[in-house]
Structures are given as C-alpha cells and as structure tokens.
Amino acid sequence: MNNLLSLAEEKPVSFSRRLFLGSSLAAAVLPSLVRAEEAAPTSAATAFTPRHIPARELPVPTTVSPELQAVIGAPYSPGWNDIPQNATDWKDLAFKSAAGAANAIAAIKEHFGLQVEKTTMAGVPVFVITPQEIAPNNENRLLVHIHGGGFVLFPGEAGAGEGMMMAGYGKFRVVSIDYRMAPDFPFPAALDDVTAVWRVLLASYEPSKMGMFGTSAGGGLTLSAVLRAKSEGLSLPGAIAPGSPCADLTWSGDTANANAYVDNALISRSGWVGAATTLYAGAHDLRNPELSPIFGDFRNFPPAILTSGTRDLLLSDTVRTHRKLRQARVNAFLQVFEGESHAQFLTPFVPETEEAFGEIAHFFDVHLAS
C-alpha cells in the first residue's frame, strides 16, 4: 500500500461534538454530515415541531407483480374505522372476519392439498396441518404457528391460513394455535394458551427442531412466548419468524404515524386495530414485555427472521425488533417488501408471497436442527 502513497501532511484540527451548519444550502444537500448538534437529553421530543406533510396522491407502484398491484391499489374498506362499542360487537366482528376468510382458507387447503386436523393440546384447540409431502430435512421438525388479527379476530380455522401456506410452501408439519381472545379472554390468556401448547410439544419434539412463527398479533405473541419461555425456564424454539410483529402496544413506532393512511390494510391506529390492542391489554401496563415485547430482554433469543413492507404501519415495530435483536447479538434477519402494507406478504397466490414464504422456509431449514 505504502508504495502507492506519498506521506500526508498532518493538519491538527480542533474537535467539537457540536458541529455547525455550513450554509443552509449545504444543510439541504448534506444533512447527514453537517447535522450533528447535540440534543437535550430530556424531553427532546417536545422540543420539536411536528413536520407538516402535505396531502398527496400516491400512485400504485409498477415495481411489483400485477397481482400485488391489485392488492396495493385496493381502496380502504368503508368499515375499517367502525370500532365495536361492546363485547357483542367485537365478537360479531370476529365472526365476520372468520366468514370473510373462509374462501381463502378453502383455496389454500385445496391448492396445496393439505390435511388439516382439529384437535386439542393441553385443552387448547389447535389445527395440525400436514402437507402432501414433508421435505426430508423436515421429517423430525415441527413449526408452531400463532395467528394474527389484533388479538381479537380469526377464531377457528380462519386463523390457520398463514400456517397452511407455511406447510405448503415449506413442506413442514405445522401446529396452528387457536388461542383464546379478547373480549372474553384478554391478556394474558393468549400467551398462556401458546405456552401450554409449547409445553405439550416439548414432550414430543426436540426444541432445536421446532420453529415458531406468526404475523402481526401472532408476531408479537411469538416474541412474547419466547420471553415467557425464558422466564419459566422452558427450552426455546430453534428459530422464530415474527412477521410485522405487534411488538409495541404503546404504538410509539414512527411508521404508526408516517405510514398512516399510506397503509391500506390497517390504515391507522385510530381504526379498529388500536381499539383491539387496548381491549386486549385491559388494565395491564402497556410496557409489560409480555404485552409489548420490544420492552423485553432479547438476549439468548433463537435466530429470527422478520418480514414487513415499505407501507406497513408496523414497519417500525419490525425494524426496531430487528435492531434490538441485533443489539442482543441474536442472529436476526430482515426482509421488507416493496409497496406492501401490513401483513400483505400473506396475500394468497401473489408471487411476492411465495417469495416471502420461500425465504422463511429457507431460514428455518438453515437454522433448525434436523
């Protein structure tokens, strides 16, 4: 190297952590290099004026498949901010969510030729999903699926669609947990049910050969289930795949604001989903890590893959979870899909969905014992 160089002249410079803006023009073009002013360490957020974002027309991107363009281009449903006012209304919404998913569930089962058996484990209803072919590496493996739906929706088989796609795309056996939900059974019933099933499965499978996964509420519950297993001294799964996890029920993530009304799946926390997480949490401290795992201790977590989309209201929850796992030295991976709103990587029969499941299946194949 040295033969390529002349000796550099040393120029001592005075060091200051408080850098000064050059010209306003330079600040426009180089904010990342010229802005390093120290902020007040306390109450910093209140010191800043919120940014005014003008109204805009957001086109459907041409950078995704035509099938996904149809999903991105779909309007908000008129019902997204009809918030149930009592337990009966919540249960009616849950019933409708299940009815609305029925055709998709049937199509997924048919497409992959899946065998789906309903049974119970530790008294908790589960669906055991068996694909037509189990991959040779997966013969002694099992994936545990925890469904999404804001801790209130998709009771029964309607919740198992993601588990079915994982079984089909990845050629894994999957157990999908039909956990108890709000309003009748708020926190911590869901987590108790997941943990009870986990205990049963530990009697039959080696933990290093089991993965755990789920999206949205199911992603949050996946993280919380690992925290609970740690605190109870249970063996942990060999790998986990929390998709766009509800990791922060205080809704402090930046994209809860930045992607509001951009995301056409959840739209805004002002709709049913914010009310659902409030209903689930009840009077519990929202910063309880079993409710909001982003506030938990991720040390010794198993390898993880996280999935989200650029328009996802919970993109921040996803990337904050990824960063916090990395800070805890966990072998954690992130994938983010172009233009997708919350949980749209689960849309059946869209090419990007096959890609997302392919990545997750590959991740489990690499990280689970066989």
Q: Which of residues 266-295 bind a copy of itself (CB under 8 A)?
A: 267, 271-272
**Distance between CA atoms of residues 193 and 225, nearest Å:** 10
47 lies in the binding site for a copy of itself (CB under 8 A): yes
Q: Residues 189 to 228: which contact a copy of itself by CB under 8 A?
A: 200, 204
Q: Which of 288, 330, 334, 354 binds a copy of itself (CB under 8 A)?
A: 334
CB contact burial 311-331 (16+ within 10 A = b; e otherwise) = bbbbbbbbbbbbebbeeeebe
CB of 285 to a copy of itself, least distance (A): 17
Instruction: Tell me which stretch binds a copy of itself (CB under 8 A): 35-43, 182-190, 218-226, 233-241.
Output: 35-43
Altogether, the residues listed in the chain come to a count of 370
Which of 180, 206, 348, 354 is the binder for a copy of itself (CB under 8 A)?
348
Site for a copy of itself in 89-148 (CB under 8 A): 93, 96-97, 99-107, 109-111, 115-119, 121, 128, 142
The answer for 349, left when phi > 0, alpha when psi is -120 to 50, beta otherwise, is left
Cβ 190 to a copy of itself shortest distance, Å:
17
Half-sphere exposure of 252 (CA within 13 A, CB side): 12
Binding to a copy of itself by residue 185, rule CB under 8 A? no
Q: Which of 172, 179, 213, 345 binds a copy of itself (CB under 8 A)?
A: 345
Greatest extent of the chain over all pairs of C-alpha atoms, in Å: 80
Is residue 22 close enough to count as binding a copy of itself by CB under 8 A?
A: yes
Does residue 6 interact with a copy of itself by CB under 8 A?
yes
44 binds a copy of itself (CB under 8 A): yes
Stretch that binds a copy of itself, among 181-189, 233-241, 259-267, 277-285 (CB under 8 A): 259-267
Q: How far is the CB of 313 from a copy of itself (least distance, A)?
A: 11
Distance CA 329, CA 349 (A): 35
Instruction: Examine residue 5 and tell whether it contacts a copy of itself (CB under 8 A).
Output: yes
What x-and-dash track marks residues 291-310 binding a copy of itself by CB under 8 A? -------------------x
CA distance 267 to 350: 21
Q: Which is nearer to a copy of itself, 169 or 188 (CB)?
A: 169
The answer for residues whose C-beta is within 8 angstroms of residue 114's C-beta and 6 or more apart is 108, 129, 130, 131, 132, 164, 167, 168
Q: Rounded to whole angstroms, how far apart are CA atoms 46 and 43?
A: 6
Of the listed pieces 183-191, 230-238, 280-288, 346-354, which binds a copy of itself according to CB under 8 A? 346-354
> What's the min distance (Å) between Cβ of 134 and a copy of itself?
11
Handedness of CA 252, 42, 323, 20 (dihedral sign): positive
Q: Which amino acid is at 119?
A: T
Identity of the amino acid at 313: L
Contact call for residues 368 and 340 (beta carbons, < 8 A): no
């869209």: which residue's tokens? 350
Question: Per CB under 8 A, which of residues 228..257 are in contact with a copy of itself?
Answer: 252-255, 257
CB of 369 to a copy of itself, least distance (A): 17
Q: Which of 124, 138, 144, 154 binds a copy of itself (CB under 8 A)?
A: 154
Q: How far is the CB of 227 from a copy of itself (least distance, A)?
A: 19
Minimum gap (Å) between residue 93 Cβ and a copy of itself: 7
Q: In the set 219, 341, 363, 368, which binds a copy of itself (CB under 8 A)?
A: 341
Spatial contact of 106 and 160, defined as CB atoms under 8 Å apart: no
86 binds a copy of itself (CB under 8 A): no
Name the burial class of residue 339, with classes exposed (0-12), middle (13-18) and buried (19+) by CB atoms within 10 angstroms of its CB: buried
Tell me the residue ranges of DSSP E strands in 201-265: 210-215, 239-243
